């Protein structure tokens, strides 16, 4: 017997196990956190800050749409919003400003932070409630009216992009 202790797993197997845990644990947390979310995007009459009607079911008919619930007072949203804004140049994005004041305040915030994604104002939380949104930021991927994934908290641009691509690849 040699003097060195035996390792539990070789290096590559240990790294693979950690990688699997880093992927699986957040997915399980998201599943639990959004257990009350509907399977279908709520049918709502929405209007963006420019006064244009918004039909999420029609918008998501051809390709997945990222629905981003955020707030002007949310510190984590300040980290996530620039990535959402970048993604809006490549994919359809609809944002919902939750309890962030009137249209003027939300429009001023968007301009001040150079954010130009399409935004629906939700001052009373009536748009967000049917989605089961309990925290900001929350991101949902909707394809053909179906909510394909939902996550809350800090999310990277590549993570958002991956969720959109997976929704498109895993069409039912």
Kindly report, residue by residue over 23-81, the tens digit of the pLDDT: 676 666 666 555 666 677 888 989 999 999 999 999 999 999 999 999 999 999 999 99
Q: Which pLDDT does position 163 carry in this prediction?
A: 87
Per-residue pLDDT band for 128 (boundaries 50, 70, 90) equals very high
pTM of the model: 0.81
Tokens of 35: 């257990």
Residues β-bridged to residue 67: 94, 140
More confident residue, 90 or 6: 90
Phi, psi of 158 (to 5 degrees): -60, -35
Range of lowest pLDDT (12-21, 30-39, 70-79, 96-105): 30-39
Q: Which pLDDT does position 78 carry in this prediction?
A: 97
Check whether 112 has a pLDDT greater than 70. Answer: yes
Check whether 104 has a pLDDT greater than 60. Answer: yes
Mean pLDDT of 137-161: 92
**Domains annotated on the chain, with CATH:** 45-170 (3.40.30.10)
Per-residue pLDDT band for 22 (boundaries 50, 70, 90) equals confident
What mean pLDDT is reported for the chain?
88
More confident residue, 83 or 42: 83
* Residue 155 near residue 80, CB atoms below 8 Å: yes
> How does strand 138-143 pair with strand 65-70?
antiparallel
Helix H or strand E segment including 96: strand 93-98
Most confident of 12-16, 18-22, 39-43, 86-90: 86-90
């Amino acid at each position: 017997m040699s003097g060195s202790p035996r390792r539990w797993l070789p290096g590559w197997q240990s790294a693979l196990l950690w990688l699997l845990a880093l992927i699986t644990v957040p997915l399980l947390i998201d599943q639990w956190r959004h257990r009350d979310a509907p399977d279908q995007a709520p049918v709502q009459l929405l209007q963006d800050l420019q006064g244009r009607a918004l039909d999420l079911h029609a918008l998501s008919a051809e390709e997945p749409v990222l629905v981003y619930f955020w707030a002007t007072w949310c510190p984590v949203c300040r980290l996530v919003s620039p990535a959402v804004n970048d993604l809006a140049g490549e994919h359809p994005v609809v944002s919902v400003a939750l309890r962030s004041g009137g249209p003027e305040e939300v429009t001023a915030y968007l301009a001040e932070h150079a954010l130009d994604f399409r935004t629906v104002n939700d001052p009373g939380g009536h748009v967000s409630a049917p989605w089961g949104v309990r925290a900001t930021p929350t991101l949902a991927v909707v394809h053909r009216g179906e909510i394909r994934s939902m996550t809350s908290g800090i999310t990277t641009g590549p993570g958002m992009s991956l969720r959109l691509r997976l929704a498109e690849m895993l069409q039912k």
